[in-house]
């Protein structure tokens, strides 16, 4: 039976965005609570910092596992179940008596990350009007960007007031609200055509799919190669105070939100041009940042523009992976988020190379610019490949 074509953006997106808000908050809020967590669990701050790395590893490992386990399940039920994992994981973090159990709880929580955001993106696109599919995904991802603007600093402040464990209980509460919203607002959706897991994973043999994931990883690597070291860069090069840096990072996060919404519109206009233009803009802004980071006002303006450009490519990238993975969109979308986290980890490593060699922090943006330009070259190759090897069309449902 033919499904009616939607004509307006569904309220379902609010439920999905709430889940993304909780996920984004729990991923990074521990960074602001490291001294308290380290003191309570009896470890030093560098070891406490590994709780961030452990979460990222959990996302990477969990993505293929959850993709396999949820491949045959209804999408609405899967999203609710993933929020259940998220809630339990955050409660376990709040109650963890030792560092080892805290690490295990963080990794367990991360298993819900890629699958919820990947399947949620596909659901948002499927429920939106055909000409607004990327915008629907971008609106869903605003939960993640708002988490960086409000959730992380808010959770940090709440943790300093009530204790870091209460922050994780509060995040579990956000997960409960998001799960209830999914239950009430996400409609039952037809199952995707059944096929073997081997055939679904065969989608990874398509060059366009892997190129899309590679561009997602490069995009994240470009961002985190600089963002990881942004505080010492602004302190040493621009002479910013701690208070000014905080305000700057809030404005930077606001740029994420604006960029995400802009990227959705650009992707619905022209997906490939949005990616190519975004990557070139990123490369230019980061190269410019090596100069503008020397002044407070110029650094702030450049960072706002950098934040906008960084997330303007997210929706086009996610939409491309889904479009190119005919027959297995949930799987590819989930694994794409794992690729993003691989980019986060590798970006931090790449950005640290010039510092370890004795170069000043002002040189770090050159690394991000080079990675962004590599993403641009990858996008050029992907566009050429589109012309010589078209994407297979989906089979007609009976």
Distance CA 205, CA 209 (A): 8
* pTM for the model: 0.79
Q: How many CB atoms sit inside 10 A of residue 194's CB?
A: 9
In a domain, 182, yes or no: yes
Residue 9 reports pLDDT greater than 70: no
**Is the distance from CB of 317 to CB of 43 less than 8 angstroms?**
no
- Residue 386: inside a domain: yes
Q: Measuring CA to CA, which residue among 21, 259, 31 is closest to residue 147?
A: 21
Q: Which of 140, 161, 191 is the last residue of a domain?
A: 191
pLDDT band at 159 (very low <50, low <70, confident <90, very high): confident
Task: Label residue 178 by pLDDT band (50, 70, 90).
Answer: very high
* DSSP string across 311-354: HHTHHHHHHHHHHH-TT-HHHHHHHHHHHHHHHHHHHHHHHHHH
Assess whether 166 and 199 both reside in one domain.
Answer: no
In this structure, are 169 and 198 located in the same domain? Answer: no
Neighbouring C-alpha atoms within 13 Å toward the C-beta of 133: 17
387: Cα separation from own chain's centroid:
29
Token pair, residue 239, equals 């002479």
141 and 111 co-located in one domain: yes
Q: For the chain, give the mean pLDDT.
A: 84
- The residues, any chain, with a CB within 8 Å of residue 270's CB and separated by 6 or more, are none
Last residue of a domain, one of 158, 191, 224: 191
Quote the domain boundaries for residue 383: 192-392
12: its two tokens: 């379902």
Q: Which of 316, 249, 264 is nearest to 142 (CA)?
A: 264
- Name the band, by pLDDT with cuts 50, 70 and 90, for residue 194: low
Provide the pLDDT for residue 188. 80
83 close to 181: Cβ distance less than 8 angstroms: no
Whether 366 and 285 map to the same domain: the answer is yes
292-316 mean pLDDT? 92
Does residue 233 sit in the same domain as residue 375? yes
Cα Rg of the chain, angstroms:
20
User: What are 339-366's pLDDT values in tens digits?
Assistant: 887 887 788 788 888 888 888 889 999 9
Q: Is residue 398 a part of any domain in this protein? A: no
Candidate ranges 213-217, 240-244, 246-250, 280-284; pick with highest mean pLDDT: 280-284
Confidence of residue 397 (pLDDT cuts 50, 70, 90): very low
Q: Are 200 and 181 members of one domain?
A: no
211 or 145, greater pLDDT: 211
Q: Give how many domains the chain has, as a whole number.
A: 2
| b/e code 117-130 from CB counts within 10 Å (16+ = b) | bbbbbbbbbbbbee
Per-residue pLDDT tens over the stretch 246-265: 788 888 888 888 998 898 88
How large is the average pLDDT for residues 313-321? 86
197: confidence class by pLDDT, cuts 50, 70, 90: low
Kind and range of the H or E element at 179? helix 164-185
For the chain, give the percent of residues with pLDDT over 90. Answer: 33
Q: Is the same domain home to 155 and 247?
A: no
In a domain, 80, yes or no: yes
Domain boundary among 191, 212, 240: 191
- The answer to whether residues 301 and 163 belong to one domain is no
Tell me: do 295 and 209 sit in the same domain: yes
335 and 347 both lie in a single domain: yes
Task: Please tell me whether residues 133 and 171 are part of one structural domain.
Answer: yes
Residue 255 lies in a domain: yes
Q: What is the mean pLDDT of residues 303-318?
A: 90
* 349 occurs within a structural domain: yes
The answer to whether residue 2 sits within a structural domain is: no
Question: Lowest mean pLDDT: which of 194-198, 239-243, 251-255, 359-363?
Answer: 194-198
Which ranges of 2-151 does DSSP label H, i.e. alpha helix? 12-28, 34-41, 45-69, 75-95, 99-127, 133-146
Indicate whether 101 belongs to any domain: yes
Query: 233 and 185 in one domain?
Result: no
User: How far is residue 43's CA from residue 37's CA, in Å, rounded to a whole number?
Assistant: 8
We report the CATH number of the domain holding residue 77 as: 1.20.1250.20
Nearest alpha carbon to residue 27 among 133, 147, 185, 116: 147
């Amino acid at each position: 039976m033919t499904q009616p074509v939607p004509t307006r953006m569904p309220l379902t997106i609010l439920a999905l965005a709430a889940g993304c808000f909780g996920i984004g908050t729990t991923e990074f809020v521990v960074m602001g609570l490291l001294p308290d967590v380290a003191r309570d669990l009896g470890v030093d701050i560098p070891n406490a910092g590994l709780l961030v790395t452990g979460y990222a590893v959990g996302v990477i490992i969990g993505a293929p596992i959850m993709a396999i386990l949820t491949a045959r399940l209804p999408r609405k039920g899967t999203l609710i179940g993933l929020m259940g994992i998220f809630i339990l994981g955050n409660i376990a973090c709040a109650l963890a008596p030792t560092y080892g159990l805290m690490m295990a709880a963080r990794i367990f929580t991360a298993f819900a990350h890629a699958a919820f955001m990947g399947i949620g993106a596909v659901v948002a696109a499927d429920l939106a009007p055909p000409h607004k599919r990327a915008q629907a995904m971008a609106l869903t991802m605003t939960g993640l960007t708002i988490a960086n603007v409000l959730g992380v600093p808010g959770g940090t402040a709440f943790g300093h007031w009530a204790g870091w464990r209460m922050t994780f209980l509060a995040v579990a509460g956000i997960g409960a609200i998001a799960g209830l919203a999914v239950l009430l607002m996400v409609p039952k959706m037809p199952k995707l055509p059944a096929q073997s897991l081997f055939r679904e994973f065969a989608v990874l043999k398509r060059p366009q799919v892997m190129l899309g994931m590679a561009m997602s990883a490069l995009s994240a690597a470009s961002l985190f190669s600089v963002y990881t070291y942004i505080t010492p860069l602004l302190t040493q090069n621009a002479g910013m105070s701690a208070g000014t840096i905080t305000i700057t990072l809030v404005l930077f996060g606001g740029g994420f939100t604006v960029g995400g919404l802009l990227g959705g519109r650009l992707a619905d206009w022209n997906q490939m041009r949005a990616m190519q233009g975004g990557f070139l803009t990123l490369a230019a802004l980061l190269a410019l940042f090596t100069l503008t980071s020397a002044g407070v006002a110029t650094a702030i303006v450049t960072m706002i523009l950098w934040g906008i450009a960084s997330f303007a490519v997210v929706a086009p990238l996610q939409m491309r992976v889904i479009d190119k993975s005919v027959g297995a969109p949930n799987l590819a979308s989930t694994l794409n988020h794992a690729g993003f986290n691989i980019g986060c980890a590798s970006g931090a490593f790449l950005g640290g190379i010039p510092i370890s060699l004795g170069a000043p922090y002002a040189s770090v943006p050159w690394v991000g610019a080079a990675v962004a330009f590599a993403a641009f070259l990858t996008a050029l190759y992907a566009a050429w490949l589109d012309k010589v090897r078209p994407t297979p069309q989906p089979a007609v449902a009976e």
